[in-house]
Structure 1
Amino acid sequence: MGSKDKDNEEIELHKNGTPRKHDKNFKGPIENRSCTDIICCLIFLVFIFGLLAVSILGFVWGNPNRLLHPTDSSGLICGYDAEVKDRPYLVYFDISKCAQMGPSAVALGCPTPQVCRKSCTTEYYVYLETVSKASIGLLQQADIDKMVCKDSITITESTSEEEIQKYVGDNDCAAYYVETTDIVGRCIPSIFKTILETAKDAITYTAVNTDGSNITYNLTNTDNTLISGSVISQGTGFLALFYSASQEAEMVFKDVVSAWHLIVIFLVIAMVACFVWIVIMRWITGFMVWFSIFAVLGVMGFGCYYSYSQYYDLKNSNSTSEFGIAQAFALNFSYYLTLKETWLAFGCTTATFLIIFLLILIFLCHRICIAIKLIEEGSKAIGNMIFTLFWPIIPFLLQIIMIAYMAVAAVFVASMGGREYYRNDTSSQIGSDLLSDLPCNENDTTFGEFCGFVKYGGDQYIIPLEVFLLFMFFWLMNFIIALGQMTLAGAFASYYWAVNKPKDIPTMPVLSSFYRSIRSIRYHLGSLAFGSLIIAIIKMIRVLLEYIDAKLKNSENPVAKFLIKCMKCCFWCLEKFIKFLNRNAYIMIAVYGRSFCPAAKDAFFLIFRNVVRAMVLDKVTDYVLFISKLVVTAGVGVGAYFWFQGKVDFFTDYLPKLNYYLVPVIVVIMGTYVIAATFFNVYTMAVDTLFLCFLEDLEVNNGKDRPYRMGKGLQKLLSKKNKKYEEPEEENRA
């Protein structure tokens, strides 16, 4: 029977992993290491060289000005290319054509000729005005200056009316134009000022006739179709919305630039606030947790008492309010409060949750105390190693550099393509995707009069290169995160395993751990790349699912939509789990120098053997850090709000002129949250590292010949104590 129990115990132990054996020479993160995950290391280096190659291609062949500035129908960049250096504004010949493209007009452009001009049009014009003057030989330079034509067209005072009509019919000159406004270099009709006033009527304007009298013209296009305000507003709606958003973004950017020094001051205040908060958390963590627990109990208890009181009051008053199907579907909430059944339901619900909460508290009270003590121990560890709070600056700067590099590379690669020309003709019957379906050659005599530049393309290779850049962005960003986590894990592990704290802590624990991390680049580059690769693959799958979901928005297939939603949820959960597993695997690698998979396995089974403790610690830590982030962010955000609104009288002279005073406030709030998250991520790493070391300590040591390394507070809480142990003397044998 005893043998059978022993076998079952061994099987169960095998399922949950085997605890690490005691090593009397182990004094913290090991020094002697060897290379791990070499294959993944080689793959990572190959992809890095691929990234450099793609970036170099972009830097050599790309031109960001193609994306930043408007481009005319000949492919010339307005205000940039030598031929149009003095003409920075883009004018559309027939803006009504944009209506037939819909939102695609933003990406593909409007199917109408476009030319670069020195300024946007500031009046109304129709070519019939010029034709009427040319027909009687009174065409003057002022009339010629009104016309908008391609550079290849030359009009003089002797040009006949037939030639002008031919130029307009061949789309070499604009048939009409309206008053326009410059929005990011594009001349967009002022639809919100003038056009909408005559939305349904044909647009007319008055010009001076040759005899000095006034003459009224209707705006018409090359087909002699009347142009109304609604047509213009339809044609420019999406363009105006897009480019107006771009202009608003520019104003927001100017506000940030104007107030940057004040924003920096508030962010420094946020850093100081985070530092002070973390230091005092060793004294207030227990109060925060227990106060919250008893507050929840008090609210539930009061809710239960009040609900049953209301129920008995209504019951004793012989309430005649009815409760039936008709009342169930009523939306009058006050009516429900007059029903005793409502208060009975409230009372039963709150009583149920109160009992469940009390049972959880009774059974998990000890584990909550352990979690609080570990959080306090984390604060103490950070207090003894202050530089750990500033270590995240290094990976943060690396991430900023990576984001900037990837953004620049993506812009250059996106602008690598050559000029793409498409048939510049469309109709409402054909559809808005005609431009992408009918490419043409600008020198083709068949379609030459319709063929115009649309965009810089080459999608057959640009899109795959952009996808590759996105994948490498995910991989490298997670690699930097992994490097930072491993460095902090090594520092906090050296704190935990020190025999006499803080005496035995290394003089420069973070630098020592960073040195090990530098050696990790040598020995554990493959392991770091392996863990970050898994996250990058999952993120790419999530991006693909988001793309498919966007494509299915107009689909009528509910099954496909449901499956995509389920897959998005599953991969979101998977990413969270893998990140949790990776973080603990990096801790094991930092301490023991193992490969990624064995380290992840050891960490997983160690947590699995203590799953309740892990869950309690995780939730308590999440709660404490959530409150901490909320307090710091809200405090700094409220201060910034009153400051930039001018409510602080003695600082009003230092306020810059802003378009929107909320812009710097939002930037401060976002920056404060990022700083708080960065500081408290150090705290999370400290707690996670100390927790794994604590679990290892409990499994490996016994307090006698294998003394515990945990602090005295944890020993007291667990009723553990290091007892002086004397090795038995060997018997003298004759």
Structure 2
Amino acid sequence: MAEKKHGEPIPYDPDFNGPLRKRSCTDVLCLSVFICFIAAWIGIGFYAILNGDPSMLLVPRDSMGRRCGKDADVLEKPYLFFQDLTECLKPTTPFSGCPTPQICVKECPNMFYTTKDNSTEQIKPYCVDENIHGKCPKWILPSKPFLFRCLYDVADRKKSHNPRISRIREDEITRLLANLGIEVAIKTFTEDENALQTGQNIVEDIIVSWWKILIGVGVALVICLLYITILRWLAAPMVWLSIVGVIVGLGAALYFTVIEYISARKAYNDIGKQYEEDKYGYEGTSLKTKRDLWLGGLIIISIVLGIILLVMIFLRSRISLAIALIKEGSKAVSSVTASLCFPIVPWILQFGVIAYAIAVGIYLASSGRPMYKTRYVDDLCSARINIADNVECDPKSWQQMVQSHTDFATYCPKANCKFIRMNNDLLYPYLQAYNIFGFFWLAFFVSALGQMVLAAIFAQWYWTFNKATLPFFAVTSAFLRTLRYHIGTLAFGSLIIAVCRMIRVALEYLDHKLKQYDNELTRAIMCIFKCFFYCLEKFLKFLNKNAYIMCAVHGKNFCASAKSAFMLLMRNILRVWVLDKVTDFLFFLSKVTLTLGVGAVSYVFFVSDLLPSKIIDNSNLHYGVVPVVIIMICTYLISSLFFSVYTTAVDTLFLCFLEDCERNDGSPEKPYYMSKNLMKIFGKKNKMD
């Protein structure tokens, strides 16, 4: 009954020879829709480029609405200077803009100035035109350009830690703040000084040690290649070594966490009585937070370690099966080593899709007519000059009006005609939605292309009875075969995922809009919908992956391949769970082991004192852990790239193995294609004459 419910087993076909059988184009209708969609997306890109101007969004504008470094009268002044940065601290700034006069300047100031200095000549470039406001800044601090905006350089207060920064005396800052009486305002810029200085030190460490980081990444690449090569012959020992390594590492982390927690708890208990007194309040709170953090880390590590140990105890036999599949996958990957490099192609295509979507989005956002509105027009200004606040204005007409009213600076010192946004046409939201959907569709299409090509490679390897006859250009032939016959199938599968993802985006947007009506009912409904579509997308991705594998093997359309894969998996649901969970778990442990191993070696070179300075000198680094963290991140990404090939190989070989079990019986007429190792595990053998 189970077999009937999930379809009949795949019958024996004497003419079946795997992916090399005669094929025809699949899902031609979806291919036509896909081509038309891409053509329309390219057309939208041309429209956006012809009508958009990203500089309207990115280039700073002064109080007159002139684009610094772009408009004719400020062509040589690319930076924007704020006369009083403390005005930008107001909570209304994100909505109405900074209400201080803003001027385009040739360069950001590198001096200190107050009104008591009586040296107005040097600050003339930072004064607004006399006919408009007639005022110069009351104070100036050394600034550095950031996104073409002149901002106070906090690092100037840390010259002793960075001799390359110009020397400025601390007493000048103290005198400046005392004269102006704005200690509290300037403190807002400098209170997070340690964090900013830390960020600067990290950037400097990266710049100084970039070549060491590259060497470390190169070593990590070699180690990952060695690990994968060793898997070819020692799959079981390497996987078990990864498991033991993670367990030992978690055990060491648990021991260290327990020690630190006990120390933090003791320190907190020692001042328990004094904690209630105000003078010990901050110290007590800090120690309590430290104790709670170590306790949280202890609990998390204990749970993770307990889960891994339980998996090891209760799934020993399943792990052996997963290791056998990994070994088969390593054989396939070793036979077609070019497959390890193939994921670079989808990555490059993905970067191209991302870059194009972002470019089109920016050009679309900057298309249309720029909208300017009056800002900071108070009642006195409105009554005397006869202008209203928050109404559309024209920068040229505004400038003429300002110059024609001699009392404008008196009654309207802060009023200006300010650029607000691009007034896009009615089609803009639909074009932007089309662009977002195009990004999702193309991104999932490229991912599907990589999966099907790899599936075709490993399926051809499995169904080749004599592995020595495998074509030399297996990757190239699989890639060309996929492009020639199955673009429509890839477009169909990726379209389904793109629609599901677009629905999830729409739900997030709707959830954001419903915040003003926030209540328990709406939160519950939105949570249910988001959870449902998240699970649906995960299931569809799993189904698509197996449909691509079946299409690569049999050359059928998407629906037929998805049905065949689903029925085959349902007839072997327990084995599927082993593959999808245990194998992925083992791959994850291997990636963690590689990352921690490379991190430990990097720590010895960059942080510890085990090696003499003659071998490697890190005295110019503020934080030796910075290159260690970067190398570990790169190691994890590199190992993920390689193991993504292994994951596809194992998934493909597993489906082929299930089909092999149903199609053949080991007789001389219908021999198994599986390896002797798999035959031994599953108690099967070929009966030779």
TM bin (shorter chain) = 0.7 to 0.9
Deviation at 1:296, TM superposition (A): 12
Q: 1:259 to 1:465 in 2, by over 3 A?
A: farther
The residue that corresponds to 1:473 in the other structure is 439
Q: 1:653 to 1:619 in 2, by over 3 A?
A: closer
Matched, 1:399 2:350: yes
Kept in 2, the 8 Å contact 1:421–1:451? The answer is no
Q: 1:638 to 1:407 in 2, by over 3 A?
A: farther
Aligned partner (choices 645, 651, 655) of residue 692 of structure 1 = 655
Deviation at 1:419, TM superposition (A): 3.2
Q: Structure 2, unaligned stretches of length 5 or more?
A: 158-170, 249-287, 292-301, 379-387, 403-411
1:105-129 deviations in whole A, cap 9, x for unaligned? 6xx6324442102344544556xx9
The residue that corresponds to 1:24 in the other structure is 14
Matched, 1:270 2:270: no
Aligned identity (percent) is 38
Q: 1:252 to 1:569 in 2, by over 3 A?
A: farther
The residue that corresponds to 2:418 in the other structure is 453
The residue that corresponds to 2:165 in the other structure is none
Q: 1: distance between equivalents of 2:123 and 2:230?
A: 77
Q: 1: distance between equivalents of 2:192 and 2:367?
A: 27
Aligned partner (choices 477, 481, 503) of residue 541 of structure 1 = 503
Aligned partner (choices 537, 551, 556) of residue 589 of structure 1 = 551
Kept in 2, the 8 Å contact 1:531–1:582? The answer is yes
Matched, 1:388 2:339: yes
Kept in 1, the 8 Å contact 2:246–2:589? The answer is no
523-532 or 60-69: bigger deviation: 60-69
SS of match in other structure, 1:503: helix
The residue that corresponds to 1:35 in the other structure is 25
Matched, 1:375 2:326: yes
Aligned partner (choices 118, 131, 140) of residue 106 of structure 2 = 118
Matched positions, count? 595
TM-score by length of 2: 0.73
Deviation at 1:602, TM superposition (A): 1.1
Q: Could you say which structure has the higher helix fraction?
A: 2
Q: 1: distance between equivalents of 2:599 and 2:99?
A: 47
The residue that corresponds to 1:671 in the other structure is 634
TM-score by length of 1: 0.69
1:232-258 deviations in whole A, cap 9, x for unaligned? 767x79xx999x98x998986776566
Q: 1: distance between equivalents of 2:619 and 2:447?
A: 37
Q: 1:422 to 1:668 in 2, by over 3 A?
A: farther
Q: Structure 1, unaligned stretches of length 5 or more?
A: 1-8, 134-139, 155-166, 206-218, 220-226, 299-330, 335-345, 428-434, 726-734
The residue that corresponds to 2:465 in the other structure is 499
58-67 or 679-688: bigger deviation: 58-67
Q: 2: distance between equivalents of 1:273 and 1:423?
A: 62
Letter in 1 for 2:222: V
The residue that corresponds to 2:456 in the other structure is 490
Aligned partner (choices 549, 570, 574) of residue 532 of structure 2 = 570
Aligned partner (choices 371, 395, 399) of residue 442 of structure 1 = 395
What aligned pairs does 1:593-632 form with structure 2 within 5 A after superposition? 593-632=555-594
1:258-285 deviations in whole A, cap 9, x for unaligned? 6554443333322222222122224544
Letter in 2 for 1:117: V
Letter in 1 for 2:81: V
Aligned partner (choices 705, 709, 725) of residue 673 of structure 2 = 709
Deviation at 1:549, TM superposition (A): 4.8
The residue that corresponds to 2:280 in the other structure is none
Q: 1:598 to 1:145 in 2, by over 3 A?
A: same
Q: 1: distance between equivalents of 2:540 and 2:448?
A: 12
Deviation at 1:652, TM superposition (A): 6.2
The residue that corresponds to 2:475 in the other structure is 510
Kept in 2, the 8 Å contact 1:277–1:628? The answer is no
Deviation at 1:228, TM superposition (A): 4.9
SS of match in other structure, 1:420: strand
Q: 2: distance between equivalents of 1:499 and 1:405?
A: 44
Letter in 2 for 1:270: A
Deviation at 1:297, TM superposition (A): 13
1:11-69 deviations in whole A, cap 9, x for unaligned? x5443123322210111114422222223222222221232223223433444445554
Q: 1:641 to 1:546 in 2, by over 3 A?
A: farther
Matched, 1:145 2:124: yes
What aligned pairs does 1:184-223 form with structure 2 within 5 A after superposition? 184=146, 185-188=148-151, 205=179
The residue that corresponds to 1:316 in the other structure is none
The residue that corresponds to 1:431 in the other structure is none
The residue that corresponds to 1:323 in the other structure is none
Deviation at 1:680, TM superposition (A): 0.2
Kept in 2, the 8 Å contact 1:28–1:497? The answer is yes
The residue that corresponds to 2:255 in the other structure is none
Kept in 1, the 8 Å contact 2:246–2:592? The answer is no
Q: 1: distance between equivalents of 2:618 and 2:352?
A: 31
Q: 1: distance between equivalents of 2:389 and 2:199?
A: 29
Deviation at 1:92, TM superposition (A): 2.6
Kept in 1, the 8 Å contact 2:243–2:589? The answer is no
The residue that corresponds to 1:286 in the other structure is 236
Q: 1: distance between equivalents of 2:625 and 2:509?
A: 33
Kept in 1, the 8 Å contact 2:365–2:424? The answer is no
Aligned partner (choices 421, 436, 441) of residue 372 of structure 2 = 421
Q: 2: distance between equivalents of 1:464 and 1:95?
A: 39
Letter in 2 for 1:389: L
Kept in 2, the 8 Å contact 1:191–1:232? The answer is no
Kept in 1, the 8 Å contact 2:368–2:422? The answer is yes
461-470 or 611-620: bigger deviation: 461-470
Aligned partner (choices 537, 557, 571) of residue 519 of structure 2 = 557
Which structure has the larger Rg?
1
541-550 or 575-584: bigger deviation: 541-550
Q: 2: distance between equivalents of 1:279 and 1:19?
A: 36
Q: 1:193 to 1:644 in 2, by over 3 A?
A: closer
Deviation at 1:470, TM superposition (A): 3.1
Q: 2: distance between equivalents of 1:409 and 1:702?
A: 56
Letter in 2 for 1:493: A
Kept in 2, the 8 Å contact 1:421–1:453? The answer is yes
Matched, 1:109 2:97: yes
Q: 2: distance between equivalents of 1:248 and 1:454?
A: 35
Deviation at 1:679, TM superposition (A): 0.3
Letter in 2 for 1:92: F
